[in-house]
Amino acid sequence: MKEASFYEKKDEKDLQCHLCRHNCVITEGGRGICGVRENSGGTLYTLVYGLPCASHVDPIEKKPLFHFYPGSRAFSIATAGCNFQCLHCQNHDISQLPREQKRIFGEKMTPEDVVAAAVELHCVSISYTYTEPTIFFEYACDIARLAREKGIANNFVTNGYIEEAPLRAIRPFLDGANIDLKSFSESFYRRNCKAELSKVLDTIRLYKELGIWIELTTLVIPGHNDGEDELRSIARFIAGELGAETPWHVSAFYPTYKLIDVKRTSPKVLERARMIGFEEGLRYVYEGNVPGCDGENTYCYNCRKVVIGRSGYTIAEYNMKGGACKFCGSIIDGVGL
């Protein structure tokens, strides 16, 4: 175990964790909502430092990050645990295990090991993903610092619930993030995730303020968050507060975990969501989990020609030069294009 960061003592027995926006008060012998931060003898420990439960090489498009070193490889890493309890979690077997079964597993891997593997496997970036990177913050921060020294970029795939102080602390080493904006409804977040929408929006605004490249993802769940008014509200928030250059990924839902009785997302609903994004002024809107559709491609917002053509996670066409559209010269927003 390693002592955690960002916590304070409330009294002789209780500690308060300030890593994420739950700000859990943790009694002696107890753990936070994430299931991986424990109060032992009046000290808060992280139980997952150096203990990843998953490590793989992925195309960066899988995150999904379409404007962050497109076509590159990302060394992806996660530990068990999560500070959300999403009913539709596709990785619930690792994210919810510490909370539901009080069980943590993984293979020992030091930050030096992770960075060495990323270098050996020719990865342009390291992705902290699969579960929620906030809950293994200390581990991620140490890896990211070493990665930066080796010229490797870092990105979070996150639910957007990290507190302000830790996000500012890791900012010098964090280059990009895909943030879930799961809904624009407080009741959805309370019911489906055991979290608060307003706190997610505050975090997203902070990412933007700090100059971290961000892309947002909304998993469109039939009957839960697929109404046109809600989708339009999300698009307006992105365009109005983050900027038209912020990519929005609208992804298809497949029945899983505790939402197995909900049907799959219709391709027509995703197509409409994408059009709503464009109608609200966004430059880049993508359809996810439906390989082979036009909604996977990056189009120049000026001349509307394909600048990056995709088939699943594979780059099939690349019509850019020096970060600009090859056809009309417009600069395409992003990092490492």
pLDDT for 47 beyond 90: yes
Q: Are 81 and 104 in contact (CB under 8 A)?
A: yes
- Give the DSSP letter of residue 333: P
236 and 248 inside one domain: yes
- Residue 46, beta-bridge partner list: 2, 37
Helix ranges (DSSP H) in 53-189: 92-95, 97-101, 111-120, 137-149, 164-170, 186-188
Spatial neighbors of 229 by CB under 8 A, at least 6 apart, are none
Ranking 33-47, 66-80, 212-226, 288-302 by mean pLDDT, the lowest is: 288-302
Mean pLDDT of the chain: 97
Which candidate, 281, 284, 126, places its Cα nearest to that of 215?
A: 284
User: Can you tell me the mean pLDDT for 41-62?
Assistant: 97
CATH number at residue 166: 3.20.20.70
- Give the DSSP letter of residue 266: P
pLDDT for 291 beyond 90: no
70 and 216 inside one domain: yes
39 and 151 inside one domain: no
136 and 22 inside one domain: no
Looking at per-residue pLDDT, the higher value among 291 and 102 belongs to 102
User: Can you tell me the mean pLDDT for 123-137?
Assistant: 98
Q: Which residues span the domain enclosing 18?
A: 2-46
252 and 147 inside one domain: yes
66 and 137 inside one domain: yes
Residue 164's pLDDT band, with cuts at 50, 70 and 90, is: very high
Residue 12's pLDDT band, with cuts at 50, 70 and 90, is: confident
Tokens of 209: 């303020």
User: Can you tell me the mean pLDDT for 29-39?
Assistant: 97
pLDDT for 206 beyond 90: yes
317 and 282 inside one domain: no
CA distance 134 to 18: 11
Give the length of the chain: 337
CA distance 80 to 78: 7
22 and 138 inside one domain: no
In order of 93, 102, 170, the CA distances from 139 in angstroms are 21, 20, 11
Dihedral pair phi/psi, residue 116, rounded to 5°: -60, -40
- Residue 325: in which H helix or E strand, if any? strand 324-325
pTM: 0.97
234 and 301 inside one domain: no
The number of folded domains in the chain is 3
pLDDT for 1 beyond 90: no
9 and 90 inside one domain: no
62 and 116 inside one domain: yes
pLDDT for 201 beyond 90: yes
pLDDT for 156 beyond 90: yes
What was the pLDDT predicted at 293?
A: 87
287 and 333 inside one domain: no
